Amino acid sequence: MRQGWRWYGPDSGVTLDAVRQAGATDIVTALHQIPIGETWTVADVAKRKSLIEATPEGRIPLRWSVVESIPVADAIKRKGAAAKQEIECWITSMKAVAENDIKIICYNFMPVVDWTRTDLDFVTPTGSTAMRFDQDRFAAFDLHILARPDAERDYSDDDRQRAKTVFDQMSDSEISDLTRNIASALPGSTTESLTIEGFRERLELYADIDTERFRQNFIEFLDAVAPVAEELGVKLALHPDDPPRSLFGLPRVVSSASDYARLFEAVPVRSNGMCFCTGSLGVRADNDVVEIARQFAPRIYFAHLRATKREADPRTFHEAAHLEGDIDMVAVLRELLAENGRRSEAEQIVFRPDHGQRMLSDLKEDSAPGYPAVGRLRGLAELRGIITALQSQTAA
């Protein structure tokens, strides 16, 4: 398997030499500077690729092997095939990527909000910090800060009481921080940063879109782009919802094995594949991530390997160290290695350590939430150790 590293570009504070020192060989990145909905050009992609792959003398070569992500415009999510201009724009960007010989595109189809956390620096027992989704704090935001109409219907009496208690104890700065964490797009997000007023307006646009309509819109998007991807030799790697359940009453259609199965059945083109994210899928206890890896192995083109840990209220979770959450990472990697062994060199699975706790020098530096250098370095080292051990067993 190919060891990847998410890189946010030359201004991110993480150098390409740092990626080499972590032991990764494959870069996972995107043209984050281009606004959502605008077309990527062949020249723009080539410029970024040259920066990554122009190897200084004496350095280990890197390659840009995964695009994460080309954002799917909100109009596509709301209108499906009727958003013709936006779909054509996405296809044009995909063609620009393919023209530069980058053949894996990770993307998601989450409406209004992308991956969501309430806390970005939850202190763990070791003194490191991690991202966390606190159900009560989320409900406090939904019910009392966003004040979403009819939100009460999504919460039990106990949920509402706990949320009110949490909200009443918040200072103005805590309310501001929570709002920023949820409504402002986190790094790598493929949705826009929103004000509270803008958030309400965007939610209103989805008022008449139920889960089945939303799924159909997604299928119509795939019907348009997957055959083109097949012609270009591009693999589409669909990231699951994060967390894998409805937020703000919005539809979610990529939260379970059955969701993936329905999409693969509806659009069976081989380019229609998945980004296997153990952390996102593992938030739900009813998602058997090892079985999902086994079931969809031929469709896994990219993998995010991380661990989440459910708390007393299983709707609350935090980002655990890679080998310390609810994920049996050894069993997961055994399945991925088995599938990888059935593939050619050109089609090996790319994986990356996803998210990471802030620790050591990370605690003294500003880094993108979820993407500290040392925390991910630890994660990649642990994953590499498991892979080495499993391969040694197989060789013996």
Q: What is the mean pLDDT of residues 354-367?
A: 93
Instruction: From 239, 217, 215, 252, select the one nearest 6 (Cα to Cα).
Output: 239
> Coil, strand or helix: which one is 200?
helix
Nearest-5° Cα angle at 239, 189 to 128? 60
* CA angle centred on 311, ends 314 and 145, rounded to 5°: 75
3 and 23 Cβ atoms separated by less than 8 Å: yes
Give the CA distances from residue 348 to residues 23, 204, 291, 340, in Å, rounded to whole numbers and listed in that order: 17, 43, 20, 6
Contact, 191 vs 113, CB < 8 A?
yes
DSSP 8-state assignment for residue 143:
I
Catalytic-residue membership of 239: yes
The domains of the chain are located at 2-117+208-395, 131-199
Residues 87-138: tens digit of each pLDDT: 999 999 999 999 999 999 999 999 999 999 999 999 999 999 999 999 999 9
CA torsion sign for 243, 249, 250, 256 is: positive
Decide if 310 contacts 327 (C-beta within 8 A): no
Range of weakest confidence among 2-6, 13-17, 268-272: 13-17
CB 323 within 8 A of CB 307: yes
**How does DSSP classify residue 358?**
B
At 11 the pLDDT is 85
In the set 26, 134, 275, 304, the catalytic residue is: 304
pLDDT given at position 13: 81
pLDDT at 341 over 80: yes
**What pTM did the predictor assign?**
0.96
pLDDT band at 175 (very low <50, low <70, confident <90, very high): very high
Question: Is-contact 267 222, C-beta < 8 A?
Answer: yes
How buried is residue 327: exposed, middle or buried, by Cβ count under 10 Å (0-12/13-18/19+)? Answer: buried
Q: Which of 277, 301, 322, 326 is catalytic?
A: 277
Contact 264, 133 (CB under 8 A): no
Q: What is the dihedral of CA 131, 12, 19, 299, to 10 degrees?
A: 60
Closest by Cα among 281, 274, 320 to 300: 274
Helix (H) or strand (E) holding 15: none
User: Is 277 part of the annotated catalytic residue set?
Assistant: yes
Q: What is the DSSP letter of 3?
A: E
pLDDT tens digits along 185-226: 776 777 888 899 999 999 999 999 999 999 999 999 999 999
Neighbours of 140 (CB within 10 A): 26
As a whole number of angstroms, the distance between CA 107 and CA 48 comes to: 19
Fold of 2-117+208-395: TIM Barrel (3.20.20)
pLDDT for 50-96, tens place per residue?
999 999 999 999 999 999 999 999 999 999 999 999 999 999 999 99
Give the active site residue among 259, 326, 354, 362. Answer: 354
Known catalytic membership, residue 354: yes
Distance CA 323, CA 327 (A): 7
304 is catalytic: yes
The one catalytic residue among 74, 136, 206, 239? 239
User: How confident is residue 37, by pLDDT bands cut at 50, 70 and 90?
Assistant: confident
Q: Which of 144, 318, 322, 355 is catalytic?
A: 355
